[in-house]
Amino acid sequence: MGAEDFGAYLEFVPGAMFRLGTVTSEDPRSKLPLHSDAIIFDENAIVTGISVLGETAIRYLNEAKQPLKRLREDG
């Protein structure tokens, strides 16, 4: 696993990070180093990434509404 500085941000703000696998068994070029100009990504992973990020945003927004709803009811 490579080095990542994301943990430093988490010392200041809440957050999360996930890694999206893009290796495909059909094309050995998908196993090349990430910054290689010859790397090929499994584009099916895009759907997975969009799904994870979209669901995360929806859950966050739904949870953020709850405190506002309570404030309006109490106020």
Cβ(38)–Cβ(32) below 8 Å: yes
Q: What is the pLDDT of residues 2-23, one digit of tens each?
A: 457 888 888 898 888 888 888 9
* Model confidence at 67: pLDDT above 80: no
Stronger pLDDT, 72 or 28, i.e. the higher one: 28
pTM, rounded to two decimals:
0.63
pLDDT of residue 14: 83
pLDDT of residue 48: 93
Supply the mean pLDDT for the chain. Answer: 84
pLDDT of residue 51: 95
Q: CA-to-CA distance for 61 and 75, rounded, in angstroms?
A: 21
